Structure 1
Amino acid sequence: METVAIEFELTEQEALALAQFVKRLGWQEIRINAVDDDEAYCMRDAIAHVRSALYRQGFSPR
């Protein structure tokens, strides 16, 4: 599978809000917005990458 790098800038407030959102986002919300389970799993994995990138930048809400 090919990977892509995505780079963008957020304010600290936006980064914290996004970190809170991806922390609270659950399977049910992901699945309801996907066309099937395969897409939902792909979305979940992508969200995990976003969560990890935010964590590495110091945005890890408890």
Structure 2
Amino acid sequence: MANHALTNAEVSFQVVLTVDEALAFLKFLKRAGHSDYKKFADTRGGDAEVYEMLYAGEKIRAEIAATGFYCR
């Protein structure tokens, strides 16, 4: 459940992954599509949460890619 006091705040974190974990997560992000996110999002108010999840995944994918890991 979201903490509404943090709405619109930014969250920054660092995570350490093994090479296998990074590649596996990149593969997951590559395979996950709009319908997958929609299945797990709260869509009672529309698709806003679906797109927030998609955008967050893309930001994480970009950060992993910036370290030199790519998933084809």
TM-score (norm 2): 0.80
Larger relative contact order (CA 8 Å, sep ≥ 6): 1
**Displaced runs of 4+ in structure 1, greater than 6 A?**
none
2:23 aligned partner: 16
Residues of 2 paired with 1:15 and 1:5: CA distance? 18
- Fraction of identical pairs, as percent: 34
Corresponding residue to 1:48 among 50, 58, 63: 58
| In 2, Cα distance between equivalents of 1:47 and 1:27 | 11
Amino acid across the alignment from 2:58: A
The equivalent residue for 2:37 is 30
Unmatched 5+ residue regions in structure 2? 1-7
1:5 corresponds to: 12
- 5+ long unaligned stretches in structure 1: none
* CA–CA distance in structure 2, aligned partners of residues 21 and 58 of structure 1: 17
Identify the structure with the greater helix proportion: 1
Number of matched pairs: 62
